[in-house]
Amino acid sequence: MRCKTWRPKFSEVRIDIRGKLHGESLGGETRENYLETIVAALRENSSKPIVLLGEHGDDRVELITEAHRRVAGPGKIVHIVGTTYAQNLQYGALAFLLADLEPSETPAPAQVMKAISRSVGHSTGGIVVLQYPQLLDVHSRTVLAQLAYNRAILLVVLAEHPGVLPAAFAPILRSNDHHELRIKPLSLDEAHQRLAQDYAATPTPLAVVALWQRSQGNPGWLTALTHDALANGKLIIRDGHLVLGAGAWPTGGRLEAMALSQTVVLEKSERELLLSIAKNRQVPLETLSSSELDALDRLISWGFIRRNNLSDETIEVSSSLLATELDTGFAARDLRELEAQRTSNGHFYDFIVARSSLEQALKLNQDLESLDAHKILKELRTGLLEGELGRARECTTSLLGSYHGTLPAELVQVVVLAQAVLDVIEVSTGAALPALEALGAQLEISGTAYDRWLVQSMRNFLLEDDDPAKHAPMAFERDWDNGRWWFSELLASRESTLLHHGLAENRGVLSGRSALLEILVGVRHGYTPIPALEHVEPLLAGSNVMKALDLMLCSNGTLSENKTAIGLEVLLDAGFVIFASPWSNNAFDLLSEIERTTLTNRIKRRKREGQLVVNPLPENLQEYDFPVLEVLTKREKFVASAAAQGLNNQQIANDAGVSVRTVEGHLYQIYSKLALTGRRDLSTLVATLQAGSEARI
């Protein structure tokens, strides 16, 4: 089966554990939005200067170049770069434009304008992109400011902070006389798209999150890191996927070139201080001398240094990759950290059994985001183990939407796998398969037994692959008892659902939703007898799983044939689609042909559309003449048709334009007039009428 490739959808703002709105950790507007804003500014006739704020190594030059191409203006863009060497020369930054001047000629604004016109290819001005404006020599700075003020050129200034712009530009950069736009890092989705396009391979969740986090979404650093990681084997292209391999992250190469190109603008004292901060990772402000504080002000204005998120009194290097390249001891520490993160069974297994060292590390952090993420991870584990599908879905949505910059990349992969689990439970093939394909490609090289088996089993289940060789039972060991999970049991064969786990034993008083799920697994695998439901905790009595089991099971724990279909539909409506599916389902084998057809059609619609979406209007009972239905009114036929096709009361009310209470009243009348016990009997009646008539219902 061919499926779409996996891509992250992690950019929405979500609600944290305390119910407050929580924005993205990294990433701002999409690049397309930035382009539209820049294009609109270029199309204005006012030639207002444009200031693009951002980071060293980002893609502002590419954005302005692409925007200029879309505007389709004549000529080229003139790029001017300030340097520490050229700032000591007269018109040093413009020397490449003034190379044709005679030695006796003195450069003047008019001559600079002619040189710019020749460079851009026309005489009506042009676009001048200026990088490192604070390193311009006095003459170049003055003439460019004058030309921009007179609107002879459209000046685009690239800076890290508004405070570094020269005073000479003050008249042209007043609030109403220029456009200013801050270009933020790539979002995770944009990083994924860029990697997929550049390398014609789908990045796995672990690979894209790890690359995005290490580069902090900076396009230049992302490109350099990916190139060097492919060169040293940290990244591997395998079966159409970009996979994160073992070993240490690269140093040197393009990463070193990026670091050198950025720090070349610094003076000796500034470079020495930057190197010291990189080696120590974090430095208290109180330890710096007065001369170092002066250098620090310049480093902060340049964007090389920032205050630590947890303490305003501590500073650190803004770019983690720049700090890595400046710190020669990083490689050894990186290898030690990688060794500490290794796991034999898999990060998902460690998460399920609450033994994840990465999860515990979040708890030890002092920042609120890490603590919130840790709490939500605990709720996710509880939701999965106890079958609280709605809460588990809320947790995965929140973690992927708000905390993908806080969680280690390995835990983001765990959450993606948990989301795939929920999709498989709902038999949402279109959502689950792309993620499982990407996760499988990553886990194939990791050697993690449990996680790899779980992903492969879910993939085979969705593909309805009955090849026994592809469903080899997992060799569960005794010491895995704490990690044995009901969903693993469901995907395993009956033989691998070991009796010592207690599915065929009477547990006495049932405690916890997970106990009900284990019984449900036993029902699906055909264990007889299974534990009876005589003693149930009060809190479990009202659960959907309990209602379904109560319908399906007799007092001795065997299946009740006449009520099994109703119980399976309860599970289907509660989101446990996988338990109502026909594949290797002992309970499903007890249904009549009509019941199987009805239930299978509902599941197929759910697999195809992700949820039950049925429109009863073109196929409602009021269009047909069935004698048995003559006792129903026109409205009751409409409601009966909708209910038989699987719509719930709210959906029927929305389609009919009435209240839910009105729908309930119609259903009561329908059941009374037709002597039916409920919706299941109604569906069976309609299926019978359909089978006995050539007319479509």
Residue 641 falls within a domain, yes or no? yes
Give the mean model confidence (pLDDT) for residues 393-412.
Answer: 91
More confident residue, 247 or 349: 349
HEC profile of 39-78: HHHHHCCCCCCEEEECCCCCCHHHHHHHHHHHHCCCCCEE
- Max avg pLDDT among 50-64, 524-538, 589-603, 628-642: 50-64
The verdict on 542 and 643 lying in the same domain is no
The verdict on 315 and 349 lying in the same domain is no
Give the mean model confidence (pLDDT) for residues 467-488.
Answer: 60
The verdict on 378 and 452 lying in the same domain is yes
More confident residue, 664 or 107: 664
Poorest-pLDDT segment among 81-85, 295-299, 625-629: 625-629
CA distance 360 to 88: 55
Residue 92 falls within a domain, yes or no? yes
CATH number at residue 110: 3.40.50.300
The verdict on 547 and 665 lying in the same domain is no
Last residue of a domain, which of 303, 331, 359?
331
Q: Please tell me the predicted confidence (pLDDT) of residue 584.
A: 72
pLDDT > 90 fraction of the chain, expressed in percent and rounded: 17
User: What pLDDT, in 10s, does the model give residues 140-196?
Assistant: 888 888 888 888 888 899 988 877 788 888 888 775 778 889 999 998 889 999 999
Q: Please tell me the predicted confidence (pLDDT) of residue 378.
A: 94
Q: Please tell me the predicted confidence (pLDDT) of residue 532.
A: 59
CA distance 307 to 292: 15
User: What pLDDT, in 10s, does the model give residues 342-391?
Assistant: 677 889 999 998 889 999 989 888 788 899 999 999 999 988 888 888 88
Residue 526 falls within a domain, yes or no? yes
The verdict on 431 and 573 lying in the same domain is no
The verdict on 239 and 277 lying in the same domain is no
More confident residue, 405 or 329: 405
CA distance 157 to 177: 14
Q: Please tell me the predicted confidence (pLDDT) of residue 590.
A: 82
What does the DSSP assignment read for 537-577? -HHHHTSHHHHHHHHHB-TTS-B-HHHHHHHHHHHHHTT-H
Q: Please tell me the predicted confidence (pLDDT) of residue 63.
A: 92
Q: Please tell me the predicted confidence (pLDDT) of residue 19.
A: 35
Residue-number span of the structural domain to which 530 is assigned: 502-609
Angle between helices 429-443 and 409-425 (to 10 degrees): 140
Query: How many domains does the chain fold into?
Result: 5
Cα-atom radius of gyration of the chain, to the nearest Å?
33
Last residue of a domain, which of 296, 331, 366?
331
More confident residue, 627 or 271: 271
The verdict on 432 and 356 lying in the same domain is yes
CATH number at residue 306: 1.10.10.10
Q: Please tell me the predicted confidence (pLDDT) of residue 372.
A: 93
What does the DSSP assignment read for 112-136? HHHHHHHHHTSSS--EEEEE-GGG-
Edge-first strand order for the sheet with 50-53 is 77-81, 127-131, 154-159, 50-53, 179-182
User: What pLDDT, in 10s, does the model give residues 277-325?
Assistant: 888 888 888 888 888 888 888 888 778 888 876 666 888 888 888 888 8
Which residue, 426, 451, 457, is CA-closest to 439? 451
User: What pLDDT, in 10s, does the model give residues 665-694?
Assistant: 888 888 888 888 777 778 777 766 665 554
Last residue of a domain, which of 331, 359, 379?
331
Q: Please tell me the predicted confidence (pLDDT) of residue 694.
A: 41
Dihedral, 143, 146, 151, 156 alpha carbons, nearest 10: 60
Residue 471 falls within a domain, yes or no? no
The verdict on 238 and 269 lying in the same domain is no
pLDDT > 70 fraction of the chain, expressed in percent and rounded: 77
Give the mean model confidence (pLDDT) for residues 112-139.
Answer: 77
Give the mean model confidence (pLDDT) for residues 609-615.
Answer: 41
| Mean per-residue pLDDT of the chain | 78
The verdict on 628 and 562 lying in the same domain is no
Confidence of residue 504 (pLDDT cuts 50, 70, 90): very low
Q: Residue 393: which residues within 8 A CB-CB, separation 6 or more?
A: 383, 419, 422
CA distance 360 to 293: 37
Look-up of token digits 């820049």: 38
The verdict on 511 and 582 lying in the same domain is yes
The verdict on 535 and 592 lying in the same domain is yes
Dihedral, 281, 287, 289, 292 alpha carbons, nearest 10: 10
Residue 9 Rama label (left phi>0; alpha psi -120 to 50; beta): beta
Poorest-pLDDT segment among 17-26, 154-163, 332-341, 580-589: 17-26
Q: Please tell me the predicted confidence (pLDDT) of residue 618.
A: 32
- Note the helical H segments in 464-512: 486-491
Whether the predicted model's global pTM rises above the 0.85 cut: no
Residue 13 falls within a domain, yes or no? no
User: What pLDDT, in 10s, does the model give residues 542-570?
Assistant: 678 888 888 888 766 778 777 888 888 88
The verdict on 43 and 118 lying in the same domain is yes
Dihedral, 142, 143, 148, 151 alpha carbons, nearest 10: 140
Residue 12 falls within a domain, yes or no? no
More confident residue, 99 or 201: 201
Poorest-pLDDT segment among 3-17, 308-322, 484-498: 3-17
- Number of residues that make up the chain: 697
DSSP character for 169? Answer: G
Residue 24 falls within a domain, yes or no? no
Confidence of residue 102 (pLDDT cuts 50, 70, 90): low
Per-position b or e across 26-56, b if 16+ CB within 10 A of its CB = bbbeebeebbebbbebbeeeebbbbbbbbbb
The dihedrals phi and psi of 224, each to the nearest 5 degrees, come to: -65, -45
Which residue, 625, 626, 612, is CA-closest to 655? 612
Q: Please tell me the predicted confidence (pLDDT) of residue 351.
A: 93
Q: Yes or no: say if 377 and 389 are a contact pair by the CB < 8 Å rule.
A: no
Residue 326 falls within a domain, yes or no? yes
